[in-house]
Structure 1
Amino acid sequence: MDGTAMAAAVTHERAPRVESLARGQFPGLSGRTYLDTATIGLAPYSVGDAVNRLVEQVVTCPADSGTLHHQALGSMRDETRTTVARLVGARSEDIALTESSTHGLGVAAQAVPLAPGDRVLTTDLEFVQMGVVMAQLARTGVRVDVVGHEKGIVTLDAIRRQFTPDTRLVAISSVQWTTGFRIDLADLGQLCRDHGVWLLVDGAQHVGVMPMDVRETPVDILVSSGHKWLNSPFGMGFMYLAPGIRERLAMPMPGFFAAKPPLETWGQSFTRPETVPNMDFHFTRDGRAWEIGGTPNFPGAVALAAAAQLATRIGIGDIAAHSLALGDRLIEGLDRQGLEVVSPRDHGARSGIVTFHTGSAESDVATMEHLLASGIGVSVRYTSGIGGIRVSCHYFNDTEDIDALLDTLKT
């Protein structure tokens, strides 16, 4: 079953299981209704515990030397690649740990082989960082073509119509940040394959709440943050680089941890008098070659691993079903109140985001402020003329959260 089919298989019977596993894990829910994960997620207890264990290790330094201490921390971070790889059906060697999706998009845009005159296709619904990346590419002589949305939706036909013989890359969010529209990645990936076009996907609003399996969905590069639907609080995300493309990708200016040490480890190599700085470096072609390659963000890594482990234990299929069911309840309530639902209603095109409109951007902001004052966390988001009050339905939310929002809208 592919990701879209899994997400569409919604049963309300799953909700008690998801809530029993998740609700009590999030102290940030105490005394409030938090429906703003699309902005930043809440960290569960398990993340705090993992970071505390790391801090204890850093403070006490149980290893016999700094070298062994550093190696132990590095091994802990290596496990994070394995953990996040499981979320998307990848292998650990396909994963690079990044600071964020912003960082990943920048690295990816520089890695794909593009030349002046090549064309890149994106949409007018993207998060602003995608626009920053496109502007940088345009300065190198790359042509940027923008597909316009139709009431918050970008169709495959609209993308197909903009393909030209010079189109080399499609850069798109799998879930759009304002409306929550979720594109059919399987069909888009096949379209790109049929035309010999690279596919770069921003999964920041997708990974952690909707299923994705890169074994079934042809994606060349996927980037994701950790601080949204994965509920990891520190600057850490990841990038998936398909194994068949890495030989054709340009590598960033790497640090020495991306190079193969002369001996088994760099620690061992540093004990040898013949080690010199100006050696003949041989770099790995695993995903980690696209990391910074220096001393990394260890707290971010252990936090991301712990958060991803919780999501995996609950099950992304169950998380998606639960989130979509909450979205159904919200949409039904908004319909009863005569409010305009901006997000798609079809499960195959929806995500954990439900956006609604109260008549104007000004009234949306006023309504948001009313909700915030009532202890209900939401956001207002617009891009290219579409948007409204954005509500995030995640696995730690329940029907009482949705009902509290709907009741507050009446007052």
Structure 2
Amino acid sequence: MELEQARKLWQPEPGWLNTATYGLPPDPVWTAMQQVLADWRTGRVSFEVWDESVGRSRAAFARLVGVDAADVSIGAAVSQLAAPIAASLPPGATVVVPEVEFTSILFPWLVQEERGVRVRTVPLDGLVDAIDAGTDLVAFSLVQSADGTVAPYDEIVAAARAHDALVVVDATQACGWLPFAADRADAVLVGAYKWLMAPRGAAFAYLAPALRERMRADAAGWYAGRDPSASFYGLPLRLADDARRFDISPSWLCYAGAAPVLELLTELDPVAVRDHDVALANRFLAGLGRPPGDSAIVTVEVPDAQEKLARAGVRAAVRAGRVRASFHLYTTEADVDRAIEALTD
């Protein structure tokens, strides 16, 4: 599908520049959600109908990031997906993380400190050099939530491989606009409600086979079974042989919305999506007299930004006087210009 054709599938109210907080659903998602809500309300279908969306979502996510669906686990949030990886670290292991990092990819390691796991934080621009022979795992966001900085993925992976360290990536703020090769890492964790524009409550993890061998499925339930439909009751333990053993029982309504948007994204040229989003971000920066960047998330400091944006009907994140604006498929040049006019008034 061509990008311009796909962009007609969204119905945003003008002024939404906050995909880094949550993405907006295209028409197929809205339609699917109305159907599943109606079915739930009336008891019209059995759960198997909703459950089909989980398999569709897993397969589409795998295609989107270039991995085998058998290596994808589904869940609800990045921290939950990271937990069994953190629990698999031996006492005395050292984890290196950027010092200003979103806590979903920081706290899972910190709670292991009572077992002797050591967490070392360093500036993001020093992360590559900080990976050494004493590093067992490096964890980072591919795109930083706070300011949109794109991490040097290839350099970090190369440094980690040189020292036999594991690589765990939170791609929540990247997947959906920034093309990358998930299988270069040992684990890639994605909350789907931002740039993938799914309902909150759907999340995915690429887990490399070698990493899975070190992990234990502490949250295993019926959905982690080799055959979930035959795993409702009783002994013996019969877990899936692939990444599904780390699945948690899915929130079906969320996945009913995730499947159509993930399938839509697989039909689009990922480079075209990136170019569209970054061009709008750079239009915004240019209008405020800032140099261009390489991210769909940008931050600028503007006095009285909250009030100025509110008066213009622009919705963006404002924290400590800094505007964080984010641009995606449904963003228009008119949205960008409205924000520029508001902030330069």
Report the TM-score, using the length of structure 1 for normalisation: 0.78
Superposition map of 1:300-315 within 5 A: 300-315=254-269
Gaps of 5+ in 2: none
Alpha-carbon distance between aligned partners in 2 of 1:130 and 1:260, rounded to the nearest angstrom: 29
**Matched residue of 1:244: which SS?**
helix
Letter in 2 for 1:33: G
Alpha-carbon distance between aligned partners in 1 of 2:281 and 2:219, rounded to the nearest angstrom: 44
Q: CA-atom RMSD, angstroms?
A: 2.4
2:64 paired with 1:120: no
Letter in 2 for 1:121: V
1:106 corresponds in structure 2 to 83
2:252 paired with 1:318: no
Of 40, 53, 72, 1:95 maps to 72
- Identify which range, 398-407 or 170-179, moves more after superposition: 398-407
1:54 corresponds in structure 2 to 36
Alpha-carbon distance between aligned partners in 2 of 1:356 and 1:194, rounded to the nearest angstrom: 37
**Matched residue of 2:323: which SS?**
strand
Superposition map of 1:66-215 within 5 A: 69-110=46-87, 113-148=88-123, 154-155=124-125, 158-215=126-183
**Matched residue of 1:331: which SS?**
helix
Cα-to-partner distance string for 1:47-100 (whole Å, 9 max, x where unaligned): 11112232344456666xxxxx33343333212110111110112111111112
1:373 corresponds in structure 2 to 311
Alpha-carbon distance between aligned partners in 2 of 1:133 and 1:144, rounded to the nearest angstrom: 10
Superposition map of 1:251-400 within 5 A: 251-261=217-227, 265-266=229-230, 277=234, 279-292=235-248, 294=249, 296-335=250-289, 345-346=292-293, 350-358=294-302, 363=303, 366-381=304-319, 388-400=322-334
**Matched residue of 1:245: which SS?**
helix
Q: Contact 1:207 / 1:224 at 8 angstroms: preserved in 2? A: yes
Alpha-carbon distance between aligned partners in 1 of 2:81 and 2:330, rounded to the nearest angstrom: 27
- Identify which range, 282-291 or 71-80, moves more after superposition: 71-80
Letter in 2 for 1:181: T
Letter in 2 for 1:34: W
Q: State the 1:231 CA deviation.
A: 1.1
Q: Closer, same or farther in 2 for the Cα pair 1:41/1:369, shift >3 Å? A: farther
Q: State the 1:202 CA deviation.
A: 0.6
**Matched residue of 1:228: which SS?**
coil
Cα-to-partner distance string for 1:227-284 (whole Å, 9 max, x where unaligned): 11111123111111113322222222300232235xx942xx88xxxxx72x222311
Alpha-carbon distance between aligned partners in 2 of 1:317 and 1:108, rounded to the nearest angstrom: 31
Q: State the 1:147 CA deviation.
A: 0.9
**Matched residue of 2:148: which SS?**
coil
Letter in 1 for 2:317: S
Structure 1 ranges of 4+ moved more than 6 A: none
- Identify which range, 195-204 or 226-235, moves more after superposition: 226-235
**Matched residue of 2:111: which SS?**
helix
**Matched residue of 1:376: which SS?**
coil
Superposition map of 1:237-252 within 5 A: 237-252=203-218
Cα-to-partner distance string for 1:142-183 (whole Å, 9 max, x where unaligned): 1111112xxxxx23xx22432343311101000001121111
Letter in 1 for 2:322: G
Alpha-carbon distance between aligned partners in 2 of 1:184 and 1:283, rounded to the nearest angstrom: 36
Q: Contact 2:171 / 2:188 at 8 angstroms: preserved in 1? A: yes
Q: State the 1:328 CA deviation.
A: 1.9
Report the TM-score, using the length of structure 2 for normalisation: 0.91
Q: State the 1:310 CA deviation.
A: 2.3
1:26 corresponds in structure 2 to 10
Of 15, 25, 32, 1:43 maps to 25
Alpha-carbon distance between aligned partners in 1 of 2:241 and 2:325, rounded to the nearest angstrom: 40
Alpha-carbon distance between aligned partners in 1 of 2:198 and 2:76, rounded to the nearest angstrom: 12
Alpha-carbon distance between aligned partners in 1 of 2:312 and 2:73, rounded to the nearest angstrom: 41
Q: Contact 1:221 / 1:240 at 8 angstroms: preserved in 2? A: yes
Q: Contact 2:50 / 2:256 at 8 angstroms: preserved in 1? A: no
Q: State the 1:114 CA deviation.
A: 1.5
Q: Contact 1:117 / 1:166 at 8 angstroms: preserved in 2? A: no
Alpha-carbon distance between aligned partners in 2 of 1:265 and 1:131, rounded to the nearest angstrom: 35
Gaps of 5+ in 1: 1-16, 64-68, 149-153, 271-275
Q: Contact 2:223 / 2:247 at 8 angstroms: preserved in 1? A: no
Q: Contact 1:372 / 1:378 at 8 angstroms: preserved in 2? A: no
Alpha-carbon distance between aligned partners in 2 of 1:123 and 1:375, rounded to the nearest angstrom: 35
Q: Contact 2:226 / 2:241 at 8 angstroms: preserved in 1? A: no
Q: Contact 2:78 / 2:170 at 8 angstroms: preserved in 1? A: yes
**Matched residue of 1:238: which SS?**
strand
